[in-house]
Amino acid sequence: MKRIMTTAGLSLFASSASAAGIDDAINEIVAPIVNPFVGMIFSTIPLPFTDTQAPWIVLWLVVAAIIFTLYLGFINFRGFAHAIRLVKGDYTDPNEPGEVSHFQALATALSGTVGLGNIAGVAVAISIGGAGATFWMILAGLLGMSTKFVECALGVKYRTTHPDGSVSGGPMYYLSKGLTNRGNPALGRTLAVLFSVCAVGGALGGGNMFQANQAFKQVVGVTGGDMSFFADKGWLFGLIMAVIVGVVIIGGIKSIAKVTEKVVPLMAVVYVGAALIIILLNLNHVGDAFAAIFNGAFTGEGVAGGIIGAMIQGFKRAAFSNEAGVGSAAIAHAAVKTKEHMSEGFVSLLEPFIDTVVICTMTALVIIITGQLHEGQTLTGVELTSAAFGSAISWFPLILAIAVVLFAFSTMISWSYYGLKAWTYLFGESKRAEMIFKIMFCCFVVIGASMNLGPVIDFSDAMIFAMALINIIGLYRLVPEIKVDMQDYLARLDSGAIARYNG
């Protein structure tokens, strides 16, 4: 998730004295209510044989990823080439049921994960855990591919197709239907409702308000700071953003997918392209950078906590960045045009790879090879990343600010869909229910840009990771059937029963 990992490097400030007063009043009311829940979700537990603490929710996600990787015979590696062919459209029949293509589903899910966490969160991780955190981040990203495989295949398998051809899917559907099929209907319904409530809260907060807030701060920062036209007009910026978001989300998943399939590749090309330029300009330092990453991972050169500290920071960054196990991506992938639910499991393998293994690693390499990661450094978060890119490309901080706004926008439109599907699961599939949520979502864009609601956003973050707690309980119960389906799919693929589409 993009917001959790950015707070250490992104400062929030109120748009005006009056707004600050309202913020403080709301925070004082909300904090005592939400803080116990937030503290529980993000609490730490001691690791055996060490004096180090680790967030239990991170361990929950990483352990699940390890189990799924082993249980499915390293499908995260075996299925990679087939995933590429699926995204290219080699097996895509446009007449199959669903609303979007494999590529559009992938782009929509990626737009909900690729963003501020890749820019600022990586900097925070290696500032604390040293260069070695990068190694563990990559490993956790590779393992997370297996979790995405399971949840996204289930998302398509148990989706609901409506009379008008639209579809609804995701954890709330495979938890209720799948666990009912396995003889646990009460547990399935309970988990589905709890997941939906958390998804709505997470969509309105971390997937909306925080994104609008950070986009506003970045625009103010690059247009004159306190002298900027927008400096005391967060409401106006929020209103403009809300209108743009509203225009996109009113059209539903097809409209969202059309935007994300253009915005996400553009963001990735610009960001990764700049990183590659810097790496090529500093090619003689690349070997030293990888040596620092490896040595820091295994010889205890991390800034805090040695080997264990580097491992925790790397795992934390990967888990919070690619959302493997949270279940959000399964909602987007459920809309894909396919009659083979396992095919979307393969496509989703690419998400953690692109998000964590490629983009997060690029950020880490740039920071290391430009010499910005050094003893006594004071910069962290987005400031450290900006300084690293700016040291080689003077104008890149401006591009970074534009990227932050695009990342925030893409996150909002993706999470609007996640929240909508959770909302309609709770309140029924009707045009009225959909419109109520979409209007409410746009109103929260304005609120997010106008105010600094710390405890409210913290609570929404906690709800997002509560989604992971609920989702993975269901995945453990349902992964045996995915293994059977996977073996059948691969057998038919090898025999030619699943043939490439020739148009």
CATH, residue 205: 1.20.1740.10
Is residue 97 pLDDT above 60, yes or no? yes
* Rounded Cα distance, 90 and 96, in Å: 14
Residue 278: per-residue pLDDT: 86
Is residue 5 pLDDT above 60, yes or no? no
Per-position b or e across 252-267, b if 16+ CB within 10 A of its CB:
bbeebbbbbbebbeeb
Question: Residue 282: inside a domain, yes or no?
Answer: yes
Is residue 19 pLDDT above 60, yes or no? no
Residue 502: per-residue pLDDT: 58
Is residue 164 pLDDT above 90, yes or no? no
What does the pLDDT average to over 372-388? 68
Question: Residue 373: inside a domain, yes or no?
Answer: yes
Residue 112: per-residue pLDDT: 74
Instruction: Write out the residue range of the structural domain in which residue 447 sits.
Output: 4-31+55-494
* Rounded Cα distance, 114 and 99, in Å: 23
Average pLDDT, the chain: 81
Per the model's pLDDT, the better-predicted residue between 91 and 495 turns out to be 495
| Two tokens, residue 140 | 């956790």
Residue 7: per-residue pLDDT: 41
Residue 22: per-residue pLDDT: 64
Question: Residue 340: inside a domain, yes or no?
Answer: yes
Q: Please state the domain count of the chain.
A: 1
Residue 355 Cα to chain centre, angstroms: 8
Question: Residue 479: inside a domain, yes or no?
Answer: yes
Burial status of residue 30 (CB atoms within 10 A of its CB: 0-12, 13-18, 19 or more): middle
Token pair 């398998």 is found at: 157
Question: Residue 503: inside a domain, yes or no?
Answer: no
Q: The whole model's pTM is what?
A: 0.85
Question: Residue 49: inside a domain, yes or no?
Answer: no
Question: Residue 129: inside a domain, yes or no?
Answer: yes
Residue 403: per-residue pLDDT: 77
Question: Residue 336: inside a domain, yes or no?
Answer: yes
